[in-house]
Amino acid sequence: MFDAIGKVLFDVLQQIYNVVGDYGFAIIALTLLIRILLLPLTVKQTKSMYELQRIQPKIKELQEKYKDNKEKAAEETMKFYKENHVSPFGGCLPMLLQMPIFLALYRMLSSYGDNTGLFPKYIAGLPDAAAAAAARFWIVLPDITMSASQMYKDGGIAPAIPYIVFVILFGLATVVPQLMQPGAQAQQKQMAYLMGGMMVFFGWQVSGGVLLYWVTQGLLGLIQQQIQTRVYKAREEHA
pLDDT at 18: 94
pLDDT in tens, 79-111: 887 877 777 665 565 667 678 888 888 888 887
pLDDT at 15: 96
pLDDT at 161: 94
Asked if residue 11 has pLDDT above 90, the reply is: yes
Output the 3-class SS for the chain: CHHHHHHHHHHHHHHHHHHHCCHHHHHHHHHHHHHHHCHHHHHHHHHHHHHHHHCHHHHHHHHHHCCCCHHHHHHHHHHHHHHCCCCCCCCHHHHHHHHHHHHHHHHHHCEECCEECHHHHHHHCCCHHHHHHHHCECCCECCCCCEHHHHHHHHCHHHHHHHHHHHHHHHHHHHHHHHCCCCCCHHHHHHHHHHHHHHHHHHCCCEHHHHHHHHHHHHHHHHHHHHHHHHHHHHHHCC
Report domain extents, the chain.
2-237
pLDDT at 73: 79
Residue 153: half-sphere exposure toward Cβ, Cα within 13 Å: 7
**Cα–Cα distance for residue pair 137/109, rounded to 1 Å:** 13
Among 3-12, 42-51, 136-145, 216-225, the minimum mean pLDDT is found in 42-51
pLDDT at 51: 79
pLDDT in tens, 103-151: 888 888 887 666 778 898 899 889 989 999 999 998 999 999 899 999 9
pLDDT at 110: 82
pLDDT at 183: 55
In this prediction, residues 31-53 reach a mean pLDDT of: 84
Select the more confidently predicted residue: 47 or 146.
Answer: 146
DSSP lists the bridge partners of residue 111 as 116
Asked if residue 237 has pLDDT above 80, the reply is: no
In this prediction, residues 52-56 reach a mean pLDDT of: 77
Select the more confidently predicted residue: 213 or 67.
Answer: 213
pLDDT at 136: 92
pLDDT in tens, 149-206: 999 998 899 999 999 999 999 888 888 877 776 555 666 778 878 888 888 898 898 8
Which residues are CB-neighbours of 169 under 8 A, at least 6 positions away?
A: 211, 215, 218
